[in-house]
Each structure stands twice: as C-alpha cells, then as structure tokens.
Amino acid sequence: MRKAIFPGSFDPLTNGHLDVIRRSLPLFDEIVISVLNNPDKAPMFSVEERCEMIREIIPSLGGNGCEISVASFSGLTAHFAREMEATAIVRGIRAVSDYEYELRMALMNRKLEPEIETVFFMAGEPFSYVSSTLMKQVFLLGGRVDGLIPELVEAKMRAKLPDR
C-alpha cells in the first residue's frame, strides 16, 4: 500500500494546500493530512478546530480512489511518518526559498527514516504566493481572501473575528 502523510500547520487551510492534496491523490492509496501541533506558533485555530475543518472539506476532494484522513501530531515529521507506516511525505513548494528549506528538511527526514521518501509538488500557478501566514495577515488587516482559502475556512475566520 502506498501511504503518504501531508504535514503542515494548516492554520488556516488554503486552496494551495487543497491543490497539492488533489494532485497527490493519484499517486497514493492513502493520504493522512497531518496537522502539526507547534507550540512555538500563535495559531488562529486550535489543532482540533483545524482537524475538524479539514474533515469537513475532505468529501469535496473526491478521493479519486485514495483514502484521505486527518490526524494531528507533535514532534518530528519523520517519526510521525514511521508511526503512521507511511512510505512518503508530501510537501508543496511555492518558490526557490521554499525549495531550500524543504530540501534541508527532506534530507534530515531521510537521515532519520531512510525508507521514507519526500515527494515535492510545485504550487499551482494561482497559489504560488499563497501561504497560511499571508492569508491570516491579509484577513486580519481587512483584505479579501476569497478564492484563496476554502469558503468554510473563511466563514470560520469571520466567526472567530466578527469585526473583520
């Protein structure tokens, strides 16, 4: 079975994340969207809220014969991938700066778990500049994020911060 994890903070989930998930579906039998609990970040949504939003959005992805699930984790991605019995880690790359960072992470993950491969997806052109951090900043400053994040996520952001 070809099983992958797609780790990230997903705070918030963006249409760029969904693009990577959709394009990775044909390559795997199962993908676990893996929500990182990073205590160093100040998240807009709790881990539980992020997992629930992703679970609500998953049915719209179709699956294309691939099972999609959601799990949260703390600690090293490579160790979580091994724990999940994954053979691959899916990552999205938007720009050269992402590549440099992701390459270092992939090499460290390979050092920690040599049998787990990292698979990179280039961001789709409409999402090449979209990041969770940027979406939060734009939203908090009153800018429009429609078309860049799922409608459900935008509604949850508005519910959390109704003055926006």
Q: Cite the active site residues.
A: 17, 41, 94, 132
Amino acid identity for residue 16 in this structure: G
Q: Which two tokens stand for residue 119?
A: 């698979």
DSSP H/E element including 17: helix 15-24
Strand order in the sheet with 117-122: 67-73, 30-36, 3-8, 88-93, 117-122
Locus of tokens 């860049």? 148
**Residues linked to residue 36 through DSSP beta bridges, in sequence order:** 73
**Residues linked to residue 62 through DSSP beta bridges, in sequence order:** none
- Of 113, 89, 93, give the one whose Cα is nearest residue 101: 93
